Amino acid sequence: MMSKAKQENIGFFKSKLKQLLADKLSANKFVVIHNKEIQGVFDTFESAITDAANRFPADEFVVQEVVDESQNVNYLFVAS
């Protein structure tokens, strides 16, 4: 279950996604968000999660990929 702090960070990310996609410095990269602020932009998920894990409590930050998810072909089998 996602904490309230994480949910707020997701909401912040969604509100800024269009802007982040338009910016060449953040498009197709990974952003660390804590306290509804972007705390870093990284080329890889691994560097983003390693940095965030050592700076913030585990249940407070999120790492999001700045991509247009509608462009991904991702079709899963699910049970229900």
Taking the complex as a whole, how short is the minimal distance between the CB of residue 38 and other proteins, in angstroms? 13
Task: Phi first, then psi: give them for residue 63, nearest 5 degrees.
Answer: -120, 120
Position 59: which residue type? D
Binding residue for other proteins (CB under 8 A) from 12, 29, 64, 66?
64
Whole-Å CA distances, 45 to 30, 50, 74: 6, 8, 19
Contacting other proteins within 1-40 (CB under 8 A): 1-2, 6, 10, 13
List residues binding other proteins (CB under 8 A): 1-2, 6, 10, 13, 45-46, 49-50, 53-54, 57-59, 62-65, 69, 72-80
